[in-house]
Structure 1
Amino acid sequence: MKKLSIVVPCYNEQESIPLYYPAVEKVVHKMPVKVEYIFVNDGSSDNTLNELRKLQKQDPEHVHYISFSRNFGKEAALYAGLKATKGDLVVVMDVDLQDPPEMMLKMYDLIENDDWDVVGCRRINRAGESKLRSFLSNMFYKVLNKISKTKLVPGVRDYRMMTRQVVNAVLSVSEYNRFSKGIFSWVGFNTKYLNYHNVKRVAGKSTWTVWQLFKYAMDGIFDFSQAPLNFTLWLGLTSSVLSFIGIIFIIVRHWIFPQYSVQGWSSLVCIILLIGGLQLLCIGLVGRYVGRIYLQVKDRPIYIIKEKK
């Protein structure tokens, strides 16, 4: 009998955990697998860790948890959970039940009978979310797919079932700045996506703000595209060409129409500020890539475990 590992990142989810476990148990009991749960407490400030301790005592054979020394972020929690898995098949899902557990039955059937390596899920609508978040999400997928060779399916979730071979490939990508959606796509393998309608959280509130989602989107762009660097190159080249043309124009005008060669201080200051602003923009974009290299070469651990069961 195959073993199924379920990785569940948790951050301030004390209300969701007691509801999540029985809901998923109803589904996995319908599958011919042995199951293990790997909960990862990402430095929660509420009673999430206590809830995980209770759950582990309730079912010590199947439930395990990892607790970080502080909040390292969901990407670190996913990585730690995947490293701790021992199953032939691995599922990644959220604890708030926005990832419908019953879809695991279809995932398992497709992997076992149709020779898929990964079966993921994508939301076909974002009902219940603000229009701003939906708009920003849609724009992110459009922009990233235009500027990156690594394509993301719009609405794709981390929720997926993978074979052990795929999990090992994902773990081999041990970069410090992680963007799992991009990594899942980058490693390849035969992948199928199942569509579903958005599901509301069973309890609690999302800890993701619009600003955090924006920063997360920027991480994805900088991790999987060199378009910002190319932008600075073309911006600098265009600025140089236009400046050269402007210099020639000024010289020619001075000799042919000397009466029009009066210098304007305001226009000169505007040009200086424009060029200076463009230079700072380019330096800032390049600096983002240099900063990511700096974090990588320091070789700090992606996470630190304080408690593990």
Structure 2
Amino acid sequence: MLSIIVPCYNEEATLPLFVQAVEEVNQEMHQELEYIFVNDGSKDQTLQVIKDLYYQYPKSLRFISFSRNFGKEAALYAGLQAATGDLITVMDADLQDPPELLPEMLRLIETGEYDCIGTRRQDRAGEPPIRSFFAKLFYRLVNKTGQTEMVDGARDFRLMTRQMVDAVLELTEYNRFSKGIFSWVGFNTKYLSFENRERVAGETSWSFWSLFRYSIDGIVNFSEAPLNIASIVGALSCVGSALALLFIVIRALVYGDPTAGWPSMVSIMLFVGGLQLLCLGIIGKYIGKIFLETKKRPLYLVKETEADLTKKKNEA
């Protein structure tokens, strides 16, 4: 069985098109499918569309509906937990992940040589230049500062064996960054490249700032470099301040100081204060992550599943 996990947030327009596209591809694969739609607190009619699809495919479609929006990472984790297939794939509902790649991915993973067949975009055509610039910068930074290599342009769309999925599920941390987790667990992975695609319908829920925050989380979760930078900056600041003070004292002794030293004092205070705030902000980010982990809160809360529909139908 092939389990297809689809995180959904305001995807009412794309879901019927997605299922239709996958079903057409499956005519070539002849695979037993298990759809798992995870409604991540959508504000449109996504849940109702999922229910309508469930009535069309009652034997192969399951769904999980959250009590509110918990984020894509929580939706991915919930889908992986619910999947029962021998092979599991993660796909976006907007068809930016081409279902046509599934037969080739399936063929490669059935050779037994690979545990995961991932996908990556060949380019970022159609993407705003500033977003492309920061995306490439993120991958360069995280690969140079962290110990977990992440492939530039890699998508969450990948086909995994049950063994790899079980390994991913063992990582129960609250602060999740799936691209890093998929790389961290290891296993033999091969990437297939494809040309960038636009959404078939609807609008993306990812703004520039939400992607920026997501990338910061990725760096913090898989690298200690920011903490090291804060330590280095603090040390350089102390040395620089000491040299500046020594210079000011010598200058005052030799030439005098008619302005009583307040301009240089204010400049040094502002400089050192700014560095301190920067370092505290970096340390605070890590402490915030620790705080969330120690709370031991669940990653998500389920409000409704397909079992509830079946129960209501039987009661009626």
Q: 1:277-288, aligned counterparts within 5 Å?
A: 277-288=274-285
Secondary structure in structure 2 of the residue aligned to 1:113: coil
Contact 1:253 1:261 in 2 (8 A): no
Whole-angstrom distance in 1 between the partners of 2:64 and 2:242:
60
Of 300, 303, 306, the residue aligned with 2:303 is 306
**1:269 paired residue among 249, 266, 269:** 266
Which moves more between the two structures, 280-289 or 31-40?
31-40
In 1, the alpha carbon distance for the partners of 2:148 and 2:125 equals: 27
**1:249 offset after TM fit, Å?**
3.5
2:241–2:268 Cα contact (<8 Å) kept: no
Show the counterpart of 1:179.
Answer: 177
* Contact 1:20-1:97 at 8 Å conserved across structures: yes
The 5 A counterparts of 1:149-168 are 149-168=147-166
Structure 2 counterpart of 1:296: 293
1:216, distance to aligned residue in structure 2 (A): 0.6
Q: TM-score, normalised by structure 2?
A: 0.93
CA distance in 1, matches of 2:100, 2:249: 74
The one-letter amino acid paired with 1:272 is: M
Q: State the SS of the aligned residue for 2:28.
A: coil
* Cα deviation, residue 239, structure 1: 1.2
Asked if structure 2 preserves the Cα contact closer than 8 Å seen for 1:4 and 1:87, the reply is yes
Once the 2 structures are TM-superposed, how far is the Cα of residue 264 of structure 1 from its aligned partner? 2.2
Cα distance per residue 1:82-114 (max 9 Å; x no partner): 000011100001001110001011111111115
Cα displacement string for residues 16-75 of structure 1 (whole angstroms, at most 9, x for unaligned residues): 011110110111232253210000000000000000000011111100000000000111
**Whole-angstrom CA distance in 1 between matches of 2:80 and 2:258:** 69
Residue 209 of structure 1 is matched in structure 2 by 207
Q: How far is the alpha carbon of 1:262 from its aligned partner? A: 5.9
CA distance in 2, matches of 1:271, 1:253: 16
1:197 equivalent in structure 2? 195
Deviations 1:125-150 (A, max 9, x none): 12222112111211111111111111
Report the equivalent of 2:142: 144
Find the aligned partners of 2:28 and 2:167 in 1 and give their Cα distance. Answer: 29
Give the distance between the partners of 1:130 and 1:253, measured in 2 at CA.
52
Give 5+ residue unaligned stretches, structure 2: 307-316
Hey, what does 1:116 align to over in structure 2? Answer: 114
User: 8 Å contact 1:16–1:202 — kept in the other structure?
Assistant: yes
C-alpha separation between the residues in 1 aligned to 2:266 and 2:137?
36
Q: Give the unaligned 5+ runs of structure 1.
A: none
C-alpha distance in structure 2 between counterparts of 1:254 and 1:51, whole Å:
77
Partner of 1:74: 72
Q: 1:228 aligns with which of 223, 226, 229?
A: 226
SS in 1 for 2:32: strand
The letter of the residue matching 1:22 is Q
| TM-score, L = length of structure 1 | 0.96
Residue in structure 1 matched with residue 10 of structure 2 by the alignment: 12
Structure-1 separation of matches of 2:53 and 2:71: 23
In 1, Cα distance between the equivalents of 2:43 and 2:257?
69
Q: Which amino acid aligns with 2:161?
A: T
Higher deviation after alignment, 204-213 or 244-253: 244-253
CA RMSD of aligned residues (A): 1.4
What percent identity do the matched residue pairs reach?
A: 54
The residue type equivalent to 1:142 in the other structure is R
Q: Which letter maps to 1:266?
A: P
Question: Which residue is equivalent to 2:62?
Answer: 64
What is the distance in 2 between the residues matched to 1:209 and 1:252? 53
